[in-house]
A = this chain, B = another copy of it.
Amino acid sequence: MKIYTIRDIAQMAGVSVTTVSRVLNDRPDVSRATQEKVRRVMAECHFVGNANARGLKQAESDLVAVIIRGRRNPFLNELAEAMLQCAQESRAAFVTEYIDERADEFSRALTLIGERRITGIIFVGSRIDARCAALAEVNIPMVFVTVSTLGTVMEKRASSVSIDDERMAREAVEALIRRGHRRVAVFGGDPEGEDSLALRARGAREVLRAHGLDLSRYVETRLTLSDAYEAALSYFRQSDADAAFCMSDTAAMGVMRALSDLGRRVPEDVSVLGVDGVDIGEYLTPRLSTIAQPVQELARQSVGVLEDMMERGAPARHVTVGAELVLRESVR
C-alpha cells in the first residue's frame, strides 16, 4: 500500500502542492473545478495528510491534551468521553493522554508541550500539590476539572471547573445525620492536601462538629476497589460506625463488599454513600446512594473555559457546577 504525499497528489491532479494544501485545509481561494479535481484524486488514493509534517509546520496549531489520571477510573472515563464529545465542535484537536495515578502528570504535561507543541491542557482528576511548581513557567491555557484551583498557587494561572466539594460533603454527611446516623465513618484520601478530597474531609468535619460529633472515624485510603475494601475490612472489624461516607463510588463499592463479608447489612446496619454518580452505582444491589457529579456540565464548562482562554485570551476562571445528592437504597 503506497502512502501518498501531498506532492504525489499535486502531480496527479496537475496542480501545485500549495493548491492541494489549500484544498486540504478548506481554504476558500480555490476554484470549484480545481477543488473537485484535487478532491477526487485524494479520494482515489485514500490520501491522508501526514500529521507530523503538519504539526511541525504549524507551531501554533490548536492541539489540546486531556490528561486523565487513571485509565481504570470509570468516573474520569465518563467525564473524558463527555469532554471529547463537546470538543468535536471545537476548532482545536483534542488528544487524550492517560497517566498512572502514581505518575506525575505535570512533568508529563511539560513533555507534551515540548514534544507535541500542545497549546492547551485539561487536567482531569488531578491533585493540586507541590508538583504544580513544575508548571510555574508554563504559560499556556490550562484547566483543572473536578478540582478547584481557587486559593491555590495555580489560581491565577489555571482555570478550574468543579463541584463545591466542601459543601457537597456537608450535604452528604448532613443527610446521613438527619437519617439518624451518629457514628459516621468517612473513607477518603489525605485530609491535609489542597485537593477535592481534602475539601470533602473539611466539609464532613464541619457538619459533624455542628452536631457535636467529630471526624474521629476517618479512614485514609486510596479510592480503589481493593484498597477501600481492605481498609474497610480492617476498620469495621472493630468499629461501631453505622454509616460510611466514601469519597468515590468505587471506594463505596469496596466498602460495601467488606461490610457484606463482615456480616453487616447495607443499609440496615450501615448506610453507605459514595461520590461521583457513576452509572454502575444504580445497578448495584443495594443501589448506591451518591453525590452525582454533573458530568455533562463539567465537560461542557471545561471545554468552554479552555476555548475562551485559547481563543480570546481570557484570564483564568473558576467555575463551580452543581452536584446532586442522590439517595438510593444504600442509605437507610
Contacts and interface: CB of A to CB of B under 8 A. Distances in A.
Given A56-B56, A229-B283, 18 more contacts: A1-B113, A3-B113, A46-B110, A48-B111, A48-B115, A50-B115, A52-B56, A52-B117, A71-B77, A72-B74, A72-B77, A225-B279, A225-B283, A253-B280, A256-B283, A260-B285, A284-B285, A285-B285
A285 B113 CA distance: 46
Top-9 shortest CB links A-B: A48-B114, A52-B55, A51-B115, A52-B56, A1-B137, A257-B283, A52-B52, A53-B56, A260-B285
Interface string A145-186: 000000000000000000000000000000000000000000
Contacts of A53: 52, 56
B71 A80 contact: yes
A98 interface: yes
A34 interface: no
Nearest to A260: B285
Contact of A280 (B117, B137, B225): B225
Contacts of A284: 257, 284-285
A52 B116 contact: yes
A190 to B, nearest CB: 24
A71 B74 CA distance: 9
Copies in the complex: 2
A96 interface: yes
B49 A115 contact: yes
A47 B113 CA distance: 11
Nearest to A1: B137
A50 B1 CA distance: 28
A49 B113 CA distance: 10
A81 interface: yes
Interface string A252-264: 0110110010000
